[in-house]
Chains A and B, each alone.
Chain A
Amino acid sequence: MNVTTEKLERSMHVLMYVFGLLLITEWLRPVDKLTDTGNIIIFILFLIYSLLLHYFRIHWSIRFILISAYIMISLQFLHSKGALFQLSWLKEGFLADFTANLSFIYDGNWELITNPFRTFLFFVLLWLVTYLIHYWVMVRQSIFFFFMLTVIFISVLDTFTPYVGDKAMIRIIIIGFLMLGLLSLLRLTIQERIKFPMASINKWILMLTGMILVSVLVGFVAPKLSPQWPDPVPYITSYSDKAVKEDDGSKRKSVGYDEDDSDLGGSIEPDSSIVFYNDAPAGHYWKVENKDIYTGKGWVSILETDFHTFSNGQDMASLDIYDVPEEVRTEEMTAKVSMTESYSHILHPQSAYLKRIEAKNGMDFKYYEGMDKVISEKDNGERLSMKEYGLVYDMPSFDIAELRKVMEPDESMDLLMEKNTQLPEGMPNRIYELASGLTRNEANWYDKAKAIEDYFDGPEFIYSKDDIPYPESNQDYVDQFLFETQIGYCDNFSSAMVVLLRAANIPARWVKGYTEGEKSILDGESVYKVTNNNAHSWVEVYFSGIGWVPFEPTKGFNGEVEFYDSELKQEAIKKPEETPTNEEQTKIETRERQDTPDRETQSSVNTGIGNMGGFLKWTAITLSGVLILAFIGYFFRRKWIPHLQILRYRKKTGAHFSTAYLILLKQLKRGGLVRPEGQTLREYAAYVDAVYDTDEMSELTGGYELMIYRGDVEDGEWKHFQKGWESLMRKTSS
């Protein structure tokens, strides 16, 4: 008995859908194992449902409605506590959620996307996959691409995640090879129009199964070589957060706040775990403390026994620890800090005049003046880490003109000079030489400090956290950075600047803390999220009459301190989005750096989009929409161009045959019937006719030949050829 092509096709398609389903479920299994996705069965049912709709060739509009209904019901089932089939849920729950999530996506706040929306996206993805399966099986009759993708996906998961893909791989190989073999049988029958007797189809299937089983068995049993290259996993996972914490044995440190800075150097690993959130009105650095003694290897603090004690909510001005000089303009600000890691020190905005700390009643704080550090403790003196506290502080902006007036220490600074120009014995001479070389041409401390700060902007200095050596035992940490490696991170830059300043006899200290972090949303409010990656160190220089002024030598960081120059007046160099509080004065931002190697870029991009005006936003959306449409249009051009051309040429009268013929040639090429360079039109026409089982192409070609090889002038002949031309154009798009 001979099997007709249609019959074979029909049964084959059923098989292919089943196999396709099995292949996709191999994608879902790891999702079940690796993520907290429950109810995987709902997704599998969705796949079956969606494939069935494809198989029965339901009209796309009906399919769309049915699929959407399934998704909605499942979403309600999975995420809504109320009863099923409530239309109100659709409106209040889903749509609201949907629009909220769209804005999250738009703002790049991926972590805020809600679970129902994730599920929804996952459904859409699965839907696309079922369409692809349908397309590969029914239209292309080739599944190799999907098969390979599955293999790659499972191998990647097997390599990089706890998922064990051994069995999955065997299943995939069996299913994939079966699909490949059967589809090639199907392709052969359709293309060659062969009718097979049932017996030979059975033989084919038998041989195929046999071959696959044997090869799988051989592959399974055969001895396997051990990996031929070093395991890439530790290398790659070393970039992930978890690995850093597990990786204690190695000498690499992870970035973050560390009490001990006596032995600086070495590479550091990124760590994006969150340290605290704050809702400060402007992003600024957060200081923990400063350290004063440079040992040649790192920094230590002077042991302080003197401290000021104050209680919760007490006005710190009464402590008499600072005077706000007249030359410094301030602005009162408040900020709430929520810690996710436990530290007993209180984070305070850099160079701000702290006025009050508002926390739980009964809390006491100790302020160590020398270290500029605040410790929280209970009444009984026990140190305590606080989860949440509020700060009230005056944020200064420094007048560069005033700073420039300071050229030398005054008498009151003797003690300070001794402490903050300290350098260890036996510092290499070249450090002093470099310091005096850099500062020789500047008259005042501010410009000297700026000159040193700018020195680190030079191209020879590179910002990197990797491959940073420790200094040799007889080597100075700063000397190594300045003259040998010239590559490093904040500790290198800040230590080097302090040392150079001190070598130039300018009092300076080394400050530790955090940069401003990234903008983020917490409980619906805009906050700064500060992670261990934001741990930072910088420099403070003492100016008599003004106090400690921060400087930022690290390449790619901008310090976030406001400077203005009261002498500059109208010739402003200012940031456009900031309005000067005083009309007469103009601010000069320290944001002078252009190369930003680190997270700073990211955060500024995020806020950038957020600040974009409505018009820009819509332009961006429209543009990307147009781009996507254009891409889709280009991808499916084989489908729509012919119909467009047919309509276009229907309206035309007169001599258009030769252009129409060339359009047809182009379209045939798009459809995969490529004419080799050396093939004549006549041969090509015969080939095309054989493929489409017509003689239209030869007929058209005959007419075209007369025009181009005989030089016939085209007359009203077009009407004569139009029918054949249209029919061929349509065939190419199907």
Chain B
Amino acid sequence: MIYKQVNQKLEMVLANIEKVIIGKRDIAELSIVALLSGGHVLLEDVPGVGKTVMVRALAKSIGASFKRIQFTPDLLPSDVTGVSIFNPKEQEFIFRPGPIMGHIILADEINRTSPKTQSALLEAMEEASVTIDGVTRGLEKPFFVMATQNPIEYEGTYPLPEAQLDRFLLKMKMGYPGVEEEIEVLHRAQYTAPLEELESVITLDELIELQAEVKAVIVDDTIKRYIVELANQTRTHEAVYLGVSPRGSIALMKAAQAYALIQRRDYVLPDDVQYLVPFVFSHRLILKPEANYDGFDAGMVIHEIVATTQVPVKRAVT
């Protein structure tokens, strides 16, 4: 059964990542969810918790090219997308591709660069292509951006506008490892440089096949109804200024499909939806200012919505 093979492959990728990143299976799974459903991830985290290692491990496991863009205030859009340079010998412009022309991109500290550069990246993410000097150039397939933003520093940063946050499928936090896990991290750091030893376990073509598999995961009407109900609840919740758009509902469904596949199922459960709601919805909600003053945050709103929305236990249409 093809379905079994799919699982095996995903399991191998996860195991590969776990070799280098300890105790972060959930983050690894979510990253794969985003990768499989063609979305991108926003990591909100402090430096040094293993973001780069994780992305690189992911890239290595699937045999993809890995590029990293360190965003700084003086970074120009062309530094991201690439630039055409005049070659005096050939008497013509030669296109030098920017770092965005890779499979897996780590966009580090995205909120440090100017909105102009940010939008270049975000446009590329949305369109899966860039237009330079009037020429539209398609990006690699698969194309996966993991952007990070440092939540601590605000000075000299350009926070991403809410509308652009919508471009990310998932937003998550990596967090610090547990005590035992950190000891294990130290142990490994002492003896090996594990990342270098990783080998790819699936090919890019296989990954593209997997992406197609995701689309085939069954989402029953009852589940679709449930997703829409959840999105609706965010729109009517009293603490919310702007709720989740239909794009958010689509994102939730796609993510749930990918997650179901990782969980060795070819159908989506309400459990999958519930698990993913915080990652998919939290950056798409704009709370009312007074809710913020009351110490209410998006996570709490979502928790409340999930707890009060009726989980479907009967077939909606028989």
Q: Residues of A with Cβ closer than 8 Å to B?
A: 658, 662, 665, 676-683, 705-711
Contacts and interface: CB of A to CB of B under 8 A. Distances in A.
A190 to B, nearest CB: 30
Interface in B261-276: 266-271, 274
A708 B219 CA distance: 11
Contacts of A708: 220, 222, 312-315
B314 A682 contact: no
B222 A679 contact: no
Given A708-B312, A709-B269, A709-B270, A678 B306 contact: yes
B306 A705 contact: no
Contacts of B128: none
Contacts of B268: 709
Given A665-B313, A682-B269, A682-B271, A709 B307 contact: no
Interface in B296-318: 306-315
B311 A681 contact: yes
Given A709-B268, A709-B269, A677 B315 contact: no
B218 interface: yes
B311 A709 contact: no
A582 B270 CA distance: 85
B213 to A, nearest CB: 16
A676 B274 CA distance: 14
Give the 6 A-B CB pairs with smallest separation, nearest first: A710-B267, A678-B307, A680-B270, A680-B271, A677-B310, A709-B220
B35 interface: no
Contacts of A680: 269-271, 274, 311
A711 B266 CA distance: 11
11 contacts: A665-B313, A677-B309, A682-B269, A682-B271, A708-B220, A708-B222, A708-B312, A708-B313, A709-B223, A709-B269, A711-B267
Contacts of B218: 709-711
A665 B311 CA distance: 14
A711 B220 contact: yes
A677 B312 CA distance: 9
A658 B222 CA distance: 15
Nearest to A678: B307
Nearest to B218: A710
B309 A683 contact: no
Nearest to B304: A678
Interface in B241-277: 266-271, 274
A679 B311 contact: yes
Given A682-B269, A706-B267, A709-B223, 16 more contacts: A676-B307, A677-B308, A678-B308, A678-B309, A678-B310, A680-B269, A680-B270, A680-B311, A681-B270, A707-B315, A708-B220, A708-B313, A708-B314, A708-B315, A710-B218, A711-B220
Contacts of B310: 677-678
Contacts of A662: 313-314
Interface residues of B, number: 21
Contacts of A665: 313
Contacts of B312: 708
Contacts of A707: 315
Contacts of A678: 274, 306-311
Nearest to B219: A709
A99 B42 CA distance: 85
Nearest to A665: B313
Contacts of B307: 676-678
B217 to A, nearest CB: 10
Interface string B216-232: 00101011000000000
Of B267, B274, B308, B313, most A-chain CB atoms within 10 Å: B313
B104 to A, nearest CB: 32
A12 B141 CA distance: 71
A709 to B, nearest CB: 5
A681 B313 contact: yes
A681 B223 CA distance: 13
A420 B228 CA distance: 90
A461 to B, nearest CB: 56
Nearest to B274: A680
B142 to A, nearest CB: 27
A708 B315 CA distance: 5
B226 to A, nearest CB: 10
A514 to B, nearest CB: 68
Contacts of B220: 708-711
Contacts of A711: 218, 220, 267
A658 B220 CA distance: 16
A710 B315 contact: no
B202 to A, nearest CB: 26
A709 B314 contact: no
Contacts of B271: 680, 682-683
Nearest to A682: B271
Contacts of A681: 270, 311, 313
B266 A710 contact: yes
